Structure 1
């Protein structure tokens, strides 16, 4: 079967406004963008006002970054979201520089600002595309996509199900029901083509709504936080609140962090290209890095950590078959609304983690399989077996590595150990450069 038939709606196809609004919300619901700011708020012992400000800033940066990348720079269906990679580094910089209200946040803002500007300059130089063409052929790109999906599976299962709050057996039940609803929707869309548009394109939001309703019947949905949240509020914790201070140690730390983030977002773009049947052009690579830098710059101005391309959305497209850029612009608008509508933000944050995990687990597998699909279509050389295999082993190893080993390593090494995708990508690139080229098998 032609792979292009997997898409019901292509990236450049138009979608009615009402439908785009609902499908955009589906992407927002399936992304756990509120988790990183909540984690950082916990690491820094933030109060309610600071935590709310961080969450608002994250939503705003995601929304503006998504619209910029999708409509103007990358010009692909790309959604921006906060990365988990910078969290420990961000907390470390703040705590080492006087704490939350003692100048630490201003030092963090200064380091984030410099890193974002460097990304923009890299894209403007036109050099990034040359790096990609030289270092990332199809076999490396397919391997990175595979490792992106593989690295997300433990987060879907452990963080959202097995180690989430509440009874673990009830968590598994909720996740299982949500995943089953998603599969049933997809099965109905395949068996009955007449209702394909409803059940395939809306499968994720249907699963999440049913899962949330069932969790409410179990007493797992906390409506009190939603009731207590105000309807609207303006962001109060921007860069103008925290101030800016430049510290060379913090700046160097975040230059390394941004390099790792760039490696990860490259994997996301490969994944999105694979599911949308699109080969990324040289201009897109450079424009994409400019857009990435601008997204991170906006994140800094609003007062949050870097936002980068989210790989989750590639899996959502694989399941729903909808890749329209209009839908992603709608998702960006939803994020901006969430940045001002704190009650709606509180509702999304109140959806139980196992409900998200049930959908997220399936999404991650589809990303991994898209990477394997890229590799499957190549005529593999003997050396390619190692280029593909070793990064997969490293991804699994870093996912399973005991935290005491990570915490015992030097700080810079900790950042790399905390990013399986970056380490897998570096391994694949280096192996591709040093392995001898032999006959195809």
Structure 2
């Protein structure tokens, strides 16, 4: 979209529908692939059949509650919602922790932890301003970088044929056919991103995935059996895997949730800067945090993963200059409609692993790059370099060598080897206790 945004710096103004609907669709295309991917990964970690009904349900919840959480932000309910053009979606930040919990404790523990962490996240709305100092760019950048680095091997496994043991042990794992499909996704995504503009550029990864999907179909890698069996309307389930409380799991998910809350504050501020040239108000920041937490808690009740604001959609606001929250409300409604139609989830679930792998290699690499970008704002004193070194070395090291903590209790071991939780914990603690006066 070109910048024709004069007069649209007020979030309460609605562009003509002929302009608002394409803009809303642009927001959906920019986040669609990133939104459903965490559910696919966590479902795989939990041992759910790829393309099966349970995985399809988790994908549907990712779409449905991305839309609902977006409407919490844009329309608002009382103090809930920033009433800004903030697009919500399923967060990559939780994948490491939730995949570990789902693999060792089950989805019941994972989703229960999401509900409780979401409620704690909601409560942060009233105090978020006072705890922001605990999460400077040094901490948030480290956490984002750890998320990206943790996920990169998952992307490579998916591109080669899948991350499950039976997929990695298959003769076809790493075949040229798999890599041809994955590389097609990457190349098409890069061409769209850097050789096109507007909607095509913003939807680059999604377009790459569609291209890879078509090639996979031509190569005989796609089965539509699950699509044919899927119903037309979703049947919602309350706590589909039961309510299973585990204190360690709750602590781990809550720790990531607090970091996510700080990221949402940053996105709210970036949105008002990009679209209106002003700082976000305290009410907008609190409202954004309330909506983040409520969206996560409600999603967890019905089997969805935690939601957060999507930074790539902030970029669309900056590019178009159109700050209308009602444009993003349209995007939220589109996601709700997609979430109510299991045929769409089944179509996504029919996607061969190498197709998804090509997309997530780009996405996960961008997450790591985003973390490095945040850290580039940090002055590299000896103190800060020590914090980076210890946090990343321990956080990623335990993930690479999980047997190093094999004698820890089950859930503690899961969190210690999740990469994200130990990195976040160490970064927060070291940033608080190490003195500031040692220069490089």
Taking structure 1 as the reference length, the TM-score comes to 0.75
Which segment drifts farther, 221-230 or 164-173?
164-173
Unaligned ranges ≥5, structure 2: none
Paired residues for 1:243-262 under 5 Å: 250=245, 252-262=247-257
1:204 corresponds to: 205
Hey, what does 2:180 align to over in structure 1? 173
Aligned residues: 405
Provide Cα deviations, 1:314-355, integer angstroms capped at 9, x if missing partner. 468779986876675455334322332111111111122222
Find the aligned partners of 2:9 and 2:411 in 1 and give their Cα distance: 38
Question: Is 2:37 the counterpart of 1:38?
Answer: no
CA 1:78–1:94 in 2, change beyond 3 Å: closer, same or farther?
same
Q: Is the Cα contact below 8 Å between 1:235 and 1:339 reproduced in 2?
A: no
Partner of 1:63: 67
Residue by residue, what CA displacement relative to the aligned partner does 1:252-280 show, whole Å, maximum 9, x if unpaired? 34531442331452475478579867777
Matches of 1:146 and 1:88, distance apart in 2: 18
**Partner Cα separation in structure 2 for residue 27 and residue 283 of structure 1:** 26
Counting only pairs closer than 5 Å after superposition, residues 306-345 of structure 1 correspond to structure 2 as: 306-309=305-308, 313-314=310-311, 329-345=329-345
**Distance in 2 between residues matched to 1:422 and 1:53, nearest whole Å:** 27
Instruction: Report if the CA contact (8 A) 1:383-1:436 is conserved.
Output: yes
Quick one: distance in 2 between partners of 1:306 and 1:424? 21
Aligned twin of 1:359: 359
* RMSD, aligned α-carbons: 4.1
Q: Does residue 86 of the first structure (1) align with residue 98 of the second (2)?
A: yes
Q: Distance in 1 between matches of 2:315 and 2:404?
A: 36
Secondary structure of 1:80's aligned partner? strand
Q: 2 CA distance for matches of 1:319 and 1:156?
A: 26
The verdict on how the C-alpha distance between 1:291 and 1:318 changes in structure 2, with shifts beyond 3 A counting, is closer
Partners of 2:39 and 2:104 in 1: how far apart?
Answer: 20
**Gap regions ≥5 residues in structure 1:** 1-6, 96-104, 190-195
Residue of structure 1 equivalent to 2:143: 144
Q: What is residue 24 of structure 2 aligned with on the other side?
A: 20
Within-5 A mapping of 1:206-285:
206-230=207-231, 232-239=232-239, 250=245, 252-266=247-261, 268-269=263-264, 272=267, 283=283
Deviation, structure 1 residue 213: 0.8
1:232-259 CA deviation, whole Å, 9 max, x = no partner? 22424224x888x7x7xx2634531442
SS in 2 for 1:42: coil
Larger deviation, residues 11-20 vs 393-402: 11-20
Counterpart residue number, 1:193: none
Distance 1:253 1:204 in 2: 36
Q: 1:120 to 1:423 in 2, by over 3 A?
A: same
Contact 2:39 2:58 (8 Å CA) reproduced: no
